[in-house]
Amino acid sequence: MRLKRRLVALTISGILASTISISPAYADGIPNYPGSSALRTGVENSAVKKMQAALIELGYDIPVANGKYGPATTRAVSKFYAENGDIDDGTSVGPLGWNEIFIALDEQRAVNKSEKEYDEATKEEVAAQLNPEQAATVIPEGQRGKQPARGTSSRSLPYKMPVIGEISAVYNQKGRRWAGRRHDGIDIRAPRGTVIKAVVEGKVIFAGWKKAYGRLIILEHSDGTTSWYAHMSKRIAKKGDVLQPGDTIGLVGASGHTTGSHLHFETHNVNDEKINPVTWLQTRVWKVEPAADPAPETPVSESAPTEK
């Protein structure tokens, strides 16, 4: 009996969730938190308490989560709306506002977790990259331009990647999903909200939306090459910013043309032609032999892509 009731409740919340997800603001594969009735100044219940706890964790100035929708909560909600733009509920929190608050909380937790993870995983690499002498190691034999195997963790590679996650598609990989039937970057699968870091110093020359790329940031580097970071859920760096290795560019998402949450990382040479991002990364972490020929763009074996 009890199970049956729970199943009915799950079905109803499922219907609510799918109804709300029709709104374009939620077309991004992001979670929904439907079901809260409107909360406003003067209301006192457990939903208010839960919302207050979320706002406190998000950094808003509410002294204590006591379940009472008083002046401090009213100010915090109003500030949250002002900072999170696209909803205008004044100071009351209906289903949309509730949804936004808990999405923001999910995102903040993911950011904190991945920031910590990234810092731990790349401490030595960041130090090496900031120290040119240490970074000037010759690329090991057979490694030049070599693509990582799909499914490997970017953390295990000898050069730093902008995101910690699983390599889900490599450069030049064949597939019908891609324009030109070749993948022109490298994909790293990671949960929404995972931090994307600069791995080489660069200046933000583009920060906006670009068709299939979705939310995109482009960095220009001192040698005139550019690196592209696509499908973000959020851009953090601003146009004109000069980023150092380890600075945050944005957060992983699924904006633009994509089937799931991942970073599409792409690099261009001075003529704005797409080049192998692995070679690009390696030659900035590892010294290139002066006499070495340009890296061949080795096509990888044909198989179905796992991601866009």
Which residues contact Zn ion by CB under 5 A? 185, 187, 264
Cβ proximity to Zn ion, 30 vs 167, nearer residue:
167
From 205, 198, 208, 197, select the one nearest 239 (Cα to Cα).
Answer: 205
Cβ proximity to Zn ion, 32 vs 258, nearer residue:
258
Cβ proximity to Zn ion, 189 vs 264, nearer residue:
264
- How many beta carbons lie within 10 A of that of residue 163, not counting itself? 25
Instruction: Give strand pairing partners of 148.
Output: none
Cβ proximity to Zn ion, 126 vs 169, nearer residue:
169
Cβ proximity to Zn ion, 144 vs 264, nearer residue:
264
Cβ proximity to Zn ion, 96 vs 275, nearer residue:
275
Q: Which residue is nearest to Zn ion (CB)?
A: 264
Nearest approach, Cβ of residue 64 and Zn ion (Å) = 46
Nearest approach, Cβ of residue 264 and Zn ion (Å) = 3
Q: Output the six-digit token pair for 212.
A: 């299939």
Nearest approach, Cβ of residue 182 and Zn ion (Å) = 11
Nearest approach, Cβ of residue 183 and Zn ion (Å) = 6
Nearest approach, Cβ of residue 190 and Zn ion (Å) = 13
β-strands 214-220, 226-232 pairing: antiparallel
Q: What angle do CA 27, 30, 35 make, to 5 degrees?
A: 100
Nearest approach, Cβ of residue 267 and Zn ion (Å) = 12
Cβ proximity to Zn ion, 165 vs 185, nearer residue:
185
Nearest approach, Cβ of residue 202 and Zn ion (Å) = 20
